[in-house]
Structure formats: structure tokens, C-alpha cells
Structure 1
């Protein structure tokens, strides 16, 4: 039952936001009493914490699968972007913003886990790009991976990138292009241009 509650809460939080959904909403959606939820979670904060790290682990697992199967680190980044956007419902309820505002301790803990995971993953990806001559030999791999993390979090700042002006899909695609153009070789640029061309076709069809 605990796992079912976590999955249902995750679905509702990602669709409507951490703030909007109450314990009553979750209980009603599942057809159970609110008391049943409290048997497994002392309060909403504990449920939000469980959901947050469950989603994190699921996303990490999906990213690992993409990295293991990807043809090259350029296509890999766009595949990861698509996976994350689909799983997080295009962040239409701004879960990142709401978690930071209403559950700062959970947000801080998640940030640390995300950095540890992304830093090592991106370093490995960039190193592979350098070895396959898609990325420039002269780049500082550790520095670039840290800058990448800051940028991916920075585009979620609603003050700098207000929702009414920028949607998350545009921000992520634009940031990926910006990031990659800074580190690709001529060989890498050919791969990037091909991926971007495919992205334009997909966007026009959607």
C-alpha cells in the first residue's frame, strides 16, 4: 500500500504541483481513507520527501539506460532531455519551483543528490565525446560538467525565465544547443546539426 500511495501521489504532484494537492485529494483519488495514508506517512512533508526521492531514483535509472544504449554523447543529451520532459510532465506544474519554495530542506537534499549524479554522469559523457573527437580536446571536463549543472538548474528560475515568456521545452532545447556548440569539434558540429534538424521536424509535427 505504501508503494501505491507513493506512485499515486507522484502522479498527482507532477500534474498539479506539491502545494495544490492535499492528503484528502490523494485519498479520494485512491478510494481509501486519509487515515490509511497516515499509517504509512506521518504527514504530507514525509510523503513529499518519499515521492521526491522515488522520482529521482526512477529518473536516474532511465538516464542510465539511455547512457548505456546511446550512439554518442550528443544524441544522448537530447534523448535524456526528452525522457525527463515526458516523465516530469513537461514540468507544467513547476514542481522544481514549488519544492524549493514550500519544502526547502527536501529541495536542498535533492539538489545534492542531483549534483552528485549529474556531475559524474556528465563527466563520463563529455570524456567519451573528447575520446571520439566530437568534443574539443582542450576543454576542462570537470569545469564544464559543473557549469552544465548550474545552467540546467538556472533555466528553471521563474524570475529570470518567467513562465509566460518561456516554456520548459524551449529552455531545455535552447540550453542544450548553447552548451554543445561551446564544446563540439567540426565533427561534433555535424552530428549536432543533424540532431537539431531532427528536433525541428519533431517539433513541427507536434
Structure 2
């Protein structure tokens, strides 16, 4: 997560874990297997934290706000080269990223957007499928080096993108709720 995948060697992994490379090879056939296993575990944990955050919400605005907080926390530790390395050198592992986005996140966002329309918090004329995909791709966009980390704080980029997205779908009632959560978070 910190250095990207290409630059980390099996020697680095062994040293960091205080074991020999021989020990690692008893459990994993190669670096690719370690990466696949790690990515799978990472997204299982990420799903759990998002589901837990969403399950403890009062409404759709709070659910999106909590997902945004989870994503912000998650992205703070990720080196953008990680995604590039996965795409280029570890396509099987990158497939887990795609599955997470296209299956889990898209379905969850669609469900929350419909909930928000029902609650009168989101505009009824929005196309929930398009906006779910848009939100997922906004997060991806931040990793695509359009906002280089030497010029932009990644957390600020994420907050700005989410704020822009959410204001485009809120009703006045939803805006009141959103402002409440933002103000409450800033005091915490």
C-alpha cells in the first residue's frame, strides 16, 4: 500500500515479516499469489467496514457520508502506483478491485440512492445507476495521477469530489442533513 507492488521484493517481504524466503514459499508459490491473497483480504475487510458503517446510519445522506469517511480513511494510506502496478503486472489481483467496484460498491450505492429518493433527501429525477458509476469512478480518478500528490493533498481531493457529488443530488431537506453531518464531523 505504501510503496507500490513492483518495488517490493520477496526479500523485503521476508525481512518485514521476520521469516526466511523459504518459509514464505511454503505458503505461497510466488509474489503474485501473495498479492492476490492480500488484495482479497483487503477488500473483504474494506467491505466489512463499509457495511458496518452503513448499518449504523439513520438515513441515506448519513450512509453516503459514512462511506465517504471510510473511503477517505482507506485512500490516505494507498500509494497511487499500487493501482497502476496491479493493472499492469498483476491483472488477476486487479480483477478483485474491479469486482469490488462493479459488484459491491455499485449495488450498495444504487440501493442507498433509491433509499435517499424515498426519504425525500435526494432529487427524484436522478438516474441512480449513472450516479453510482460516476461516484465510483470519481474515487478511481483521484488515483489516476490527475491530482499528483506533490501538488494536491489526497484527502482534500477526496473531500472536494464527494462534496461536489453530494450537492448535485440533495434536496433542501437532504442538504440540511448533510450540513449537520459535516458540522458534527468537524467538531469531532
Q: TM-score, normalised by structure 1?
A: 0.81
Q: Secondary structure at the match of 2:123?
A: coil
Higher mean displacement: 55-64 or 15-24: 15-24
The alignment's C-alpha RMSD in Å is 2.0
Aligned to 2:65: 78
Structure 1 runs (4+) deviating above 4 angstroms are 199-202
Q: How many residues align?
A: 187
Q: Which runs of 5+ in 1 are unaligned?
A: 1-13
For the residues of structure 2 that align with 1:80 and 1:187, how far apart are their CA atoms? 20
1:194 correspondence with 2:177: no
Higher RCO, Cα 8 Å, sep 6+: 2
Of 142-151 and 79-88, more deviation after overlay is shown by: 79-88
Contact 1:49/1:106, CA 8 A, preserved across alignment: yes
Which runs of 5 or more structure 2 residues have no equivalent in the other structure? none
Match of 1:43 in 2: 30
Matched, 1:20 2:7: yes
Partner residue, 1:182: 168
Say whether the 8 Å CA contact 1:91–1:168 is kept in structure 2. Answer: no
TM-score, normalised on structure 2? 0.88
Q: Deviations over 1:12-51 (max 9, x none)?
A: xx23332332221221222211111111111111111111
- Is the deviation greater in 128-137 or in 69-78? 69-78
Q: Please show how residues 91-170 of structure 1 align to structure 2 within 5 Å.
A: 91-94=77-80, 95-158=82-145, 160-170=146-156
